[in-house]
Amino acid sequence: MKRFKFKKFIIALAPMAGVTDFAFRKICADFGADMVVTEMVSIKALDNKSIKTNNLLREESSALRACQLFGRDAEAINRVLKNEVFNKFDYIDFNCGCPAPKIVKNGDGCTMMKNLEKTRAVILALVNATDKPVSVKFRLGIDGNENYIQFAKMCEECGVSFLTLHARTREQGYAGNVDKTAYKKLIDAVKIPVLWSGDIKTKQDVEYAKEIGCAGVMIGRNALGNPEIFSTLKNKKPPYCKKQAIINHLKMLKTQFKTERTLVAYFKKHLMWYVRASKNATLIKQKILEFTTLKQIENLIDEL
C-alpha cells in the first residue's frame, strides 16, 4: 500500500465549530493557510439532508480542503459519502476529539476514544466509503485514560492517511498547556504523518513542531479575527488588510444567511475578534454587543 505524504510542511486552519465558516476559511487561505478544515459536520444530519448542515459544506478556498465529520452510523457514512458535495474536498477528517457535553453524551467526538473496537468499525467504514484520504483528529484521551498511542495505531491499521493530535485530555477542555512531549511520542509510534494542534502561535512554535517531525500544524484560537497569522508565519505579504478581510467576510456571509437578524448575531462574534487588537478595543466591543442591524456593523467597519 502506498503511504500518504504531504508535499510540504502544512500550516492549517483548525476546524472550529461556529467559527470556521466558508468565508473565514477562504480568507485564511488567501492569507496563506495551506489547508482549511470545515466546522465539524454531523453525518446523521447530512443523512437527513439538513439544509443548515449542507451550508457547512460550502467551500470556496484556494487551499487544501478538508471536511470534518462526526458520527457513528456506518450505514449512514456509506450513504452520505456518496454525495457529490464531497468532490470539492481533498480530505475527509473524522472528529474523535470534541469534548462538548452534547457531543460526548451522544457517544461522538472524544467518546470515540473509549471503545477502540467499536470505533475501528466506524473508521473502517469511512475509509472504505471514500477514495479520498481519511484523517482523524483526537485528544490524549478521556476519563483519565491517555490511550492516544493505542488509538492512533488502531487508526493507522484502518488505513487512515494522517493524524491530528490536540494534546489535551477531554477533561482539560481547552485549559492549561498542551502536553508538548506527546507529539514526538506519537510520531515515533506510527508511520503516518502527524499534525500538531494546540497553542501554535509563533514561528518558534512552528519550527519546534517541524524539528520533532510533525508534518504540519493547525492553528485554532490564535487565528480568531487574525487571518494575518498565516502570512506572518509564512513570511508572506498579506493579500489585503484586516479591514478588507472584515468587509470580504461579511459580504460572503450575506450570501448564506437568510435573515439580517441571524447574520448580525453571528457576525458580531467575529467582529469582536477582529477588533481585539484595535485601539479602544474594550469600548468598541461594548458597542458591538449592542448592535442589532447590519447598518451598525457597516458603520463601524467604515470607521476602522
Ligand X SMILES: Cc1cc2nc3c(=O)[nH]c(=O)nc-3n(C[C@H](O)[C@H](O)[C@H](O)COP(=O)(O)O)c2cc1C
Which residue ranges make up the site for ligand X (CB under 6 A)? 14-17, 19, 39-40, 68, 95, 97-98, 137, 166, 174, 197-200, 219-222
Residue 15 vs 193, nearer CB to ligand X: 15
> In the bound complex, what is the minimum distance in angstroms from residue 264's beta carbon to ligand X?
19
Nearest position to ligand X, beta carbon: 220
> In the bound complex, what is the minimum distance in angstroms from residue 68's beta carbon to ligand X?
6
> In the bound complex, what is the minimum distance in angstroms from residue 182's beta carbon to ligand X?
13
d(CA 256, CA 259): 9
Chain position carrying cell 463601524? 300
Chain centroid, CA 262 distance in Å: 22
d(CA 216, CA 207): 10
> In the bound complex, what is the minimum distance in angstroms from residue 137's beta carbon to ligand X?
4
Cα angle 245-247-253, degrees, rounded to a multiple of 5 = 100
Residue 232 vs 296, nearer CB to ligand X: 232
Residue 9 vs 260, nearer CB to ligand X: 9
Residue 112 vs 127, nearer CB to ligand X: 112
Residue 55 vs 293, nearer CB to ligand X: 55
> In the bound complex, what is the minimum distance in angstroms from residue 134's beta carbon to ligand X?
14
Alpha helices in the chain, H assignment, sequence order: 22-30, 43-47, 51-55, 74-80, 101-104, 116-129, 148-157, 180-189, 203-211, 228-233, 242-254, 260-274, 281-290, 294-303
